[in-house]
Amino acid sequence: MKVLVLSATTGGGHMTAANALKEYILMQQPDADVLIIDTIQYVSPFINKAVTSGYIYMVRNTPTIYGGIYNNSDKTDTTINKTVEITTSSLRNKLLPLIEEYKPDILVSTHPFSLEIASSLKTRELIDIPLIGIVTDFAVHQSYVADGVDAYIVSSREMVDDIVSRGIDRVKVYPYGIPVKQSFYKEIDRAAVFREEELDENLPTVLIMAGSFGVTDVIKIYHKIVKSPEKFQIVVITGKNEKLYETFERYLRKIAINNTIIEYKMMLKNAKPPKKTKSGAKPKPVSKQTSSRNMKPLKPTKLLYFTDEVEKYMHMADVIVTKPGGLTVSESIASELPMAIFKAIPGQEEQNADFLVSKNMAIRLKKDNTCTATFTDLIRNPQKLADMKQAIRSFSKGNSAANIYLLMCELIEKYKK
């Protein structure tokens, strides 16, 4: 089997999904040839830089404007969509030589731009290869809707109805979910892993996936969470964000020093003066236990820069605090991990968050003073967490990559006839 996976680096999750699918294909067919390309970079490095830089700038600095553009482009016959169509038409011939040279048995796209280019080649009968489009969010966007696509992979039955209402034949739509690494489906030896990570298995564990947050956002959400009177431990993963890691490390060190000073002062203040006994011996001073109302103790925290074992920490955790990106959400679902959504970007992340909350798989953490109370209510309520975990279990579509692989095999055989 020769598979050409068309993806893009904008948003991060598209490439992750592509690699997860490649991993599964090679597990089933070690001799398979699977090539993943960054489509926008391949056809036009200039456009790729402009799109990627523009995307990053808008989501970080002008998220409302980005949300407006996203929502406006989710309609037919808009100026934005027409511009995209013209651009893809002008670039499709740059992708064609690669396809003709590589001669894949099937094309798979995990990004709407690359799907549009491949679709354009098919509808103009420049290629005759099965084409699968994977929607890497929990809501459909008009940019994914294209002619010539043999199968669409979506994450829920609601998305099936949505994409069908946009003119796609229902028989072409499969609610298999977004592919993730196989390790997210595997159970772990929790006791052994907690010992290895030097964490307390008996304490609730909160995972904060901080790589997609801004530095200030991470500090704020952490500060609000640790105000909770409940006992729990935290694992923070900053990803390949060196500035974030170093800033957070300094922040934790500062809190630890301040708390040590406060605790020492409280011990001196509460120490009882020594009293003489009948024998004349002086007993040692006895200090009272420091009250949590008088100081803000630092929750046990493990800070990680980058790890390729995210699945291990997801399986350890009782809840994850994260932005609702499609891939992180899918990995959490595969790990049966309840989510606390913080600062969703207007557009696809807002839609993802709305869907997850409606299905009781996640709660929202607002940036205001209600954040601490909302999180406390969740972490002190094991039944609520258990209900969310059950909701995730009921929603899960199983091993997405496995189902997509079987569909790929069917389509390849169909085209051979």
SS (H, E, C) 321-377: EECCCHHHHHHHHHCCCCEEEECCCCCHHHHHHHHHHHCCCEEEECCCCHHHHHHHH
Residues of the chain with pLDDT below 70 are 11-12, 77-90, 211-215, 258-297
For residue 282, the 8-state DSSP code is P
How far is the CA of 201 from the CAs of 211, 305, 307, 319, 382, in angstroms? 25, 22, 21, 14, 15
Integer Cα distance of 19 and 38 in angstroms: 12
Q: In what order do the strands lie in the sheet with 205-209?
A: 301-304, 233-237, 205-209, 319-322, 339-342, 362-365
Query: Rounded to 5 degrees, what are φ and ψ at 301?
Result: -135, 130
Q: Which residues, in sequence order, are CB contacts of 266 under 8 Å at separation 6+?
A: 290, 291, 294, 295
pLDDT of residue 212: 62
Does the CA dihedral 324-327-330-335 come out positive or negative?
negative
Contact 179, 108 (CB under 8 A): no
Burial class (CB in 10 A: 0-12, 13-18, 19+), 346: middle
How far is the CA of 244 from the CAs of 58, 187, 310, 313, 349, in angstroms? 19, 30, 18, 19, 22
pLDDT of residue 293: 34
Taking alpha carbons only, the member of 210, 183, 201, 191 closest to residue 303 is: 210
Residue 63: helix, strand or coil by DSSP? helix
Radius of gyration of the chain (CA): 26
> What domains are defined for the chain?
2-177+398-416 (3.40.50.2000), 184-272+291-395 (3.40.50.2000)
The encoded tokens of residue 392 equal: 């995730």
pLDDT of residue 289: 33
Amino acid (1-letter code) at residue 122: K
pLDDT of residue 232: 95
Name residue, tokens 């953490």: 365
Per-residue pLDDT tens over the stretch 42-78: 888 888 777 777 777 777 778 788 788 878 788 776 6
The encoded tokens of residue 10 equal: 């904008």
pLDDT of residue 104: 97
Name residue, tokens 């049966």: 336
Q: What pairs with residue 168 in β-bridges? A: none
Per-residue burial over 17-54, b if 16 or more Cβ lie within 10 Å, else e, is: bbbbbbbbbeeeeeeeebebbbbbbbbbeeebeebbee
pLDDT of residue 343: 81
Give the H/E segment covering residue 65. helix 63-72
Integer Cα distance of 318 and 335 in angstroms: 10
Q: Which residues, in sequence order, are CB contacts of 321 under 8 Å at separation 6+?
A: 206, 207, 208, 209, 221, 225, 339, 340, 342, 365
How far is the CA of 253 from the CAs of 228, 238, 250, 343, 375, in angstroms? 20, 16, 5, 26, 24
Integer Cα distance of 293 and 61 in angstroms: 37
Taking alpha carbons only, the member of 287, 247, 282 closest to residue 265 is: 287
Global confidence as pTM: 0.83
